[in-house]
C-alpha cells in the first residue's frame, strides 16, 4: 500500500521521500526515482530530520506503529494523512494537533475510510436511521483450508478476529464478540459470502451519536468463521505468554507466522475487494435507502492488489485535498468529516474513478 501511495503522489507531480526500517520495499521505489531512506520512523529523532521540508506526511504503517507515528508527526508540526488501523483512540491526539496547528486525517482507507466518507455525506443531508457496511478482501480462487489471503499486516487481520465489535442497536451502544451474528449474503458478482461482526465503526460511534443503528461486518467465504472460532477458542490468538521447553512465547505470534505463510499471495494470484454501504433514513419526508457497491479486482497491468488500490487511492485523494487547501480543519479528523462538503465528496468519487476504482450507487424509496 505504501508503494502505491508513493508512486501515485509522484505521478501527481510531488517530490516524495519514503522511509522504512526494511530495505526491501524501498528498493522498488528507488528504481522508480523516489528518494528513499532506511530508518526507524517510530524514533522521533530519526523521523525529525526527514520532516523539515515536508508539506505533508503520509502514514502507511502496521497498526501497532500508527499512533506513535501520528504523535511524532504532530509534534513536528506537520500535516498528515494516515491509513494505519491503530488499536488506540487516535482522537486523543486531537488537542495536541490543534495546539500545533496541524490537520491530520486518520483511518483514511477503504473501510474505515471511504465508507465513512459516504456516511458523512448523507448524514449532512438527511436524518440517518440506519448504517450498515459489509466489506472484505478475498482471493479469487478458493483454496482449502483457509480460503483467504492477507493483503495487509497479519497481526492487524488477526485483531479483527479477536477485538470485540462495537455497534449501535436502537440507540444503544452494544458490544458483541468478533465473528458473531454470522449470516449469508448474496453480492454480485461474487455470489454467496459470509458476514460477521467486526469492530470497524471506530470514530463513527462518537461523531454520529444520533444514528440509532450502525454496524460493520466483515465478509469471507462461507465456512471461514468456523475455523476462526476454533482457533480462537483453542488459544491460538492469545497474547498471553506460555512456556514451551523453557522459552516464553505468545501463541498469537506463532499463529501469525504460520498463517501468514499460508495467507501469502502467489505472484500471479488474483484477488478482489468487495464492499456494500447501506444508509437508510428520512429525506424530504420520505423514507429512503442509499446503497453503494464496490467491486474491484487485482490490476494485472500495474501488479497492484485491489486492497492496495482501494485503500491507497482513497488516501492519496485525501492527501491532495490537504495539499490543495480544500481541507483545512485543524486537529485530528476521522474520514467522515471529509464527506460533509459536496465538493470534497465529489472529488473523492472522481479521483477514485479515474484510477478505475468505481463505486456504483442507487436509491430506493420505501
Residue extents of the structural domains in the chain: 2-109+308-357, 114-304
Distance, in Å, from the CA atom of 236 to the CA atom of 258, rounded to the nearest integer, reads: 11
3-state secondary structure of 72: helix
The pLDDT of residue 155 is 79
The pLDDT of residue 149 is 85
3-state secondary structure of 277: strand
Strand stretches in 126-262, DSSP E: 127-139, 165-169, 172-176, 183-187, 191-197, 213-220, 242-244, 247-249
How far apart, in Å, do the first and last CA atoms of the chain sit?
A: 40
The pLDDT of residue 177 is 96
In which residue are the cell numbers 492496495 written? 308
CATH of domain 2-109+308-357: 3.40.50.720
3-state secondary structure of 317: helix
The strand pair at 271-283 and 286-297 is best described as antiparallel
At 245, list the grid cell. 521447553
11 sits in which H/E element: helix 2-11
Asked, colleague to colleague, whether 2-109+308-357 and 114-304 share their fold, the answer is no
Say if residues 77 and 70 touch (Cβ distance below 8 Å): no
The pLDDT of residue 151 is 67
pLDDT tens string, the chain, 366 residues long: the values are 999 999 999 999 999 999 999 888 898 898 888 999 998 888 888 888 889 889 999 999 988 899 999 999 999 999 999 999 898 999 999 999 999 999 999 999 999 999 999 999 999 999 999 999 999 999 999 988 889 987 667 778 898 899 999 999 999 999 999 999 999 999 999 999 999 999 999 999 999 999 999 999 999 999 999 999 999 999 999 999 999 999 999 999 999 889 888 887 777 789 999 999 999 999 999 999 999 999 999 998 888 899 999 999 999 999 999 999 999 999 999 999 999 999 999 999 999 999 999 999 999 998
Residue positions counted in the chain: 366
The strand pair at 57-59 and 127-139 is best described as unpaired
The CATH topology of domain 114-304 is Dihydrodipicolinate Reductase; domain 2 (3.30.360)
Task: Decide: residue 295, CB within 10 A, 0-12 exposed, 13-18 middle, 19+ buried.
Answer: middle
The pLDDT of residue 356 is 95
How is residue 108 annotated by DSSP?
Answer: -
The alpha-helical segments, DSSP class H, found in 208-305 are 224-233, 251-263
The pLDDT of residue 91 is 96
The pLDDT of residue 41 is 84
Query: How far from 338 is each of 107, 116, 235, 317, CA to CA, in Å?
Result: 12, 9, 40, 11
Amino acid at each position: 500500500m505504501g508503494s502505491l501511495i508513493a508512486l501515485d503522489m509522484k505521478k501527481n507531480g510531488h517530490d516524495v521521500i519514503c522511509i522504512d526500517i526494511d530495505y526491501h520495499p524501498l528498493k522498488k521505489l528507488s528504481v522508480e526515482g523516489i528518494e528513499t531512506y532506511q530508518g526507524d520512523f517510530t524514533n522521533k529523532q530519526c523521523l525529525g530530520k526527514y520532516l523539515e521540508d515536508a508539506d505533508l506526511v503520509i502514514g502507511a504503517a502496521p497498526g501497532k506503529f500508527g499512533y506513535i507515528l501520528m504523535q511524532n508527526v504532530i509534534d513536528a508540526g506537520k500535516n498528515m494523512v494516515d491509513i494505519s488501523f491503530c488499536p488506540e483512540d487516535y482522537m486523543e491526539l486531537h488537542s495536541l494537533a490543534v495546539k500545533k496547528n496541524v490537520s491530520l486525517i486518520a483511518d483514511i482507507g477503504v473501510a474505515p475510510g471511504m465508507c465513512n466518507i459516504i456516511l458523512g455525506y448523507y448524514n449532512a443531508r438527511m436524518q440517518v436511521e440506519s448504517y450498515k457496511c459489509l466489506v472484505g478482501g478475498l482471493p479469487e480462487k478458493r483454496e482449502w483450508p483457509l480460503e483467504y489471503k492477507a493483503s495487509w499486516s497479519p497481526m492487524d487481520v488477526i485483531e479483527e478476529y479477536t477485538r470485540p465489535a462495537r455497534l449501535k442497536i436502537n440507540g444503544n451502544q452494544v458490544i458483541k464478540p468478533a465473528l458473531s451474528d454470522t449470516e449469508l449474503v448474496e453480492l454480485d458478482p461474487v455470489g454467496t459470502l459470509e458476514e460477521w461482526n467486526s469492530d470497524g465503526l471506530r470514530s463513527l460511534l462518537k461523531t454520529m451519536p444520533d444514528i440509532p443503528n450502525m454496524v460493520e461486518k466483515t465478509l469471507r467465504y462461507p465456512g471461514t468463521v468456523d475455523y476462526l472460532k476454533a482457533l480462537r477458542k483453542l488459544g491460538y490468538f492469545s497474547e498471553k505468554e506460555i512456556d514451551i521447553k523453557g522459552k516464553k512465547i505468545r501463541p498469537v505470534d506463532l499463529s501469525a507466522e504460520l498463517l501468514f505463510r499460508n495467507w501469502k499471495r502467489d505472484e500471479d494470484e488474483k484477488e478482489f475487494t468487495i464492499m456494500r454501504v447501506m444508509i437508510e433514513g428520512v429525506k424530504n419526508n420520505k423514507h429512503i435507502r442509499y446503497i453503494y457497491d464496490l467491486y474491484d479486482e487485482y490490476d494485472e497491468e500495474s501488479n497492484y492488489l485491489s486492497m492496495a488500490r482501494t485503500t491507497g487511492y482513497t488516501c492519496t485523494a485525501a492527501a491532495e485535498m490537504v495539499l490543495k487547501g480544500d481541507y483545512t480543519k485543524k486537529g485530528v479528523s476521522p474520514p467522515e468529516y471529509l464527506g460533509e462538503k459536496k465538493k470534497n465528496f465529489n472529488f473523492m468519487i472522481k479521483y477514485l474513478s479515474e484510477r478505475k476504482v468505481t463505486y456504483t450507487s442507487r436509491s430506493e424509496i420505501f
